[in-house]
Structure formats: C-alpha cells, structure tokens
Amino acid sequence: MRQLIIDTETTGLYPQQGHRVIELAAIEVVNRRATGRSIHFRVDPERDIDAGATEVHGMTWDDLKGQPKFRDVAAEFVDFAAGAQWVIHNAPFDLAFLDSEFRLARLPLCGDVHAGVVDTLALAREMFPGKRNNLNALCDRFGISNAQRTLHGALLDAELLAEVYLAMTRGQDSLTIDIAAPGAFAGGGVAAGAATDGSRAKLRVIAPTAAELAAHADTLAALDRESKGRCLWLMSGADAPPPAAT
C-alpha cells in the first residue's frame, strides 16, 4: 500500500476567511516503510500571516515573499499524491485548506486525488480517550524524540507523524503478526506443538490445582461479602469450577 504522510502550515485557522497554505510536505511510505521520497514546498501566501500562526510556525509573510505561489506547485503535488492513501493529523483542517487552494488553482479537489484518508488524531482519540493527543504528546507516549521541534514545520512534523503512525498501527496489518511461519525458527525447526500438515494444532489445556481453586473460591467469597451478596460472578453461575489437576 502506498501512503503519504502529509502536513501543512497556514496563515491562520480558517480557509473560508481567506487564510492560505504557506508550507506543504508529504513523505511516501510503501508497505509501512519510508521510501525516502518526499515533496516539500514553502509558498508565498499573498497575504499577511496572523500573529498567532506565526507563534506556532515562526514564519511571517516577509519570510515567504519570493517563494513560488501555491498555484505554481499545486500540480506537482497532485501528481505525487494521486492514488495514495493520505495520513494526516487532524485531517479535516488540512483537507479544508488544500481544497481551498486546489479551487484557486482550478485543480481537482482532495477527494478526487487521494485513495482514502487516515486521521491520526481521530485514531489517537480512540486509542487514548481523555488524554492529550497532539503530536508532541504522541511522540512522548511512543518514545519518539521530538527535541528538534521547537516550532511547527510541515516537513519535520510529517517525519514525526510517520513514526507516530507506524507506532500506533504496529500489529494491525495481520491477525497473525509475530507468529513465525514453519521453518522460520533457528535451525529450521518449528514452534513447539505447531502443526506441520496445515491442520490446526491441538491446544494444551492446563487445569487449576486444588490449591488454586481454593484460593479462587476465597477471593470470590471476599468479593461477595464486600458487595453484600452482589458478586456478579457468583450470581451468574459462572463459577462452576473445572476439575482440579491431578
């Protein structure tokens, strides 16, 4: 699968109020590996940049005068980004700005260019409800160094987001991830107990000992006393004990 990790910086918060993109970056990832291919533009927004936005990314209009206009680089971005799945943190924000720029450049809108969008902010909120899920917080959570990120920048943020996204989704590509195929172990052997004829291996069932059953019963009895007879495990009748190991 070809994916692009995308980030933008802007003159403000609202494209409907005439705010513009000033920086755009996209990093290519194929089959969960960065390919080394990327695209990065700083563009002249043809307008002032809000002071609040400058505090975030550090750029003023004077810094960008003389850079190409977005319409001058838009077609190159579309060619690079077409047919890929886009991975964006807070995707509705970036997509709204890109759609606004594409309209001005008379180019197809985002929905006609990408092959789907992953919003890593929405994904993070599902994984970590009630926690801070901005890019800095996610870098800290996954042990990704962001020491160089004193200000926002589209290319650096896309690089960090690529690492965060791969860490967030590690293990979701296959239900059998980390299960080695026969012959993959040292010496060409197979995992202990694994079937080699394509059939399902027989599971080994370990029954509790009499002492473990007694300890389990004591724990349930204590819970039942503390809940005044409302221990759900006992009420459901689910505590029919299996036979003890001999």
Q: Is residue 242 very low, low, confident or very high in pLDDT (cuts 50, 70, 90)?
A: low
pLDDT at 68: 97
Structural domains of the chain, ranges and CATH numbers in brackets: 2-168 (3.30.420.10), 203-246 (no CATH)
Report the C-alpha gap between 60 and 83 in whole angstroms. 33
Question: In the predicted model, what is the mean pLDDT of residues 132-157?
Answer: 86
pLDDT at 241: 58
pLDDT at 184: 37
Catalytic residue of the set 57, 114, 152, 216: 152
Residue-wise pLDDT for 33-64, tens only, equals 999 999 999 999 999 999 999 998 989 999 99
The token pair at 192 is 């202990």
Sheet with 33-42, side-by-side order of all strands: 33-42, 21-30, 2-10, 85-88, 117-119
Is residue 237 scored above 80 in pLDDT?
no
Is residue 183 scored above 50 in pLDDT?
no
Comparing 240 with 154, the larger pLDDT belongs to: 154
Amino acid letter, 76: E
Question: In the predicted model, what is the mean pLDDT of residues 195-221?
Answer: 72
pLDDT at 137: 94
Q: Is residue 110 very low, low, confident or very high in pLDDT (cuts 50, 70, 90)?
A: very high
Report the C-alpha gap between 76 and 112 in whole angstroms. 15
Is residue 186 scored above 50 in pLDDT?
no
The token pair at 105 is 């450049």
Report the C-alpha gap between 111 and 113 in whole angstroms. 6
Arithmetic mean of pLDDT over the chain: 84
pLDDT at 189: 39
Is residue 139 scored above 90 in pLDDT?
yes
Give yes or no: 152 in active site.
yes
Q: Is residue 31 very low, low, confident or very high in pLDDT (cuts 50, 70, 90)?
A: very high
Look at the pTM and tell me if it is higher than 0.75: no
